């Protein structure tokens, strides 16, 4: 005699399976985690980039007219950012006029230029473009502040911004990134000796 077994309705989830709601929760969690890691990675890459890449030899930046054509504000004192060599090329006479509050245009400063390394001497963060409020370079990481000539004015940095020797060859500015020069010692003041506590800043 055979007996038909009836187990009744299944009311519990089979072992080893997860509900749709749990699955979706886990997938959302994974997605958020991946996005968080990408954001963190991008932030760290900006603040602590591998600034040694692209360095080690002479790099032709271009002529004064080339730079002014690409970045007209260079003639008015704003440093020209050259990412390939991780540097700012400063038009010194125009920069002095900018700091002094004078509206002066210097499209061709001849040999009066300065190539500043964008790596902060403190912990190696990448220094952003000139702060419009102070006309100083201000590191976003720990607040070190430097004049337009890279001379240190505030913060934990042990010295001013490092720089590279620059020459003019065939009418073009050539920067020797293989001969990095140590930045000026604390206390150096070529023409901007303003008190850091008495001027507005872009960082705390």
- pLDDT one-digit tens code per residue, 54-102: 577 999 999 999 999 999 999 999 999 999 999 999 999 999 999 999 9
Q: What mean pLDDT is predicted for residues 128-144?
A: 97
Whether the per-residue pLDDT at 49 is higher than 50: the answer is no
Alpha-carbon torsion (169, 76, 177, 186), positive or negative: positive
Q: What is the pLDDT of residue 13?
A: 52
Q: What mean pLDDT is predicted for residues 14-37?
A: 61
Q: How far is CA 76 from the centre of its chain?
A: 22
Domain boundaries, the chain: 15-47, 58-198
pLDDT tier at 120, thresholds 50, 70, 90: very high
**Distance between CA atoms of residues 52 and 103, nearest Å:** 36
**Distance between CA atoms of residues 174 and 189, nearest Å:** 26
Give me the residue label for tokens 């700012």.
88
- pLDDT one-digit tens code per residue, 143-190: 999 999 999 999 999 999 999 999 999 999 999 999 999 999 999 999
pLDDT tier at 25, thresholds 50, 70, 90: confident
Query: Minimal CA–CA distance to 111: which of 89, 130, 96?
Result: 89
Q: How far is CA 56 from the centre of its chain?
A: 20
Tell me which fold the domain 58-198 belongs to: Rieske Iron-sulfur Protein (2.102.10)
């Amino acid at each position: 005699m055979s007996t038909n077994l009836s187990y009744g309705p299944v009311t519990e989830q089979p072992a080893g399976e997860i509900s749709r709601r749990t699955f979706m929760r886990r997938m959302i969690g994974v997605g958020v985690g991946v996005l968080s890691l990408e954001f963190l990675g991008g932030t760290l890459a900006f603040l602590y980039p591998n600034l040694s890449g692209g360095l080690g030899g002479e790099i032709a930046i271009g002529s004064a007219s080339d730079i002014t054509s690409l970045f007209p504000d260079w003639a008015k004192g704003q440093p020209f950012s050259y990412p390939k060599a991780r540097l700012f090329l400063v038009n010194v006479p125009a920069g002095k006029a900018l700091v002094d509050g004078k509206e002066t245009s210097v499209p061709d400063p001849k040999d009066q230029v300065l190539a500043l390394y964008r790596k902060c001497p403190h912990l190696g963060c990448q220094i952003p473009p000139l702060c419009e409020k102070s006309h100083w370079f201000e590191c976003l990481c720990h607040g070190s502040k430097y004049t337009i000539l890279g001379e240190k004015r505030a913060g934990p940095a042990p010295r001013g911004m490092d720089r590279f020797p620059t020459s003019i060859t065939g009418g073009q500015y050539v920067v020797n990134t293989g001969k990095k020069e140590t930045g000026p010692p604390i206390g150096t003041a070529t023409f901007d000796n303003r008190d850091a506590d008495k001027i507005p800043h872009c960082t705390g």
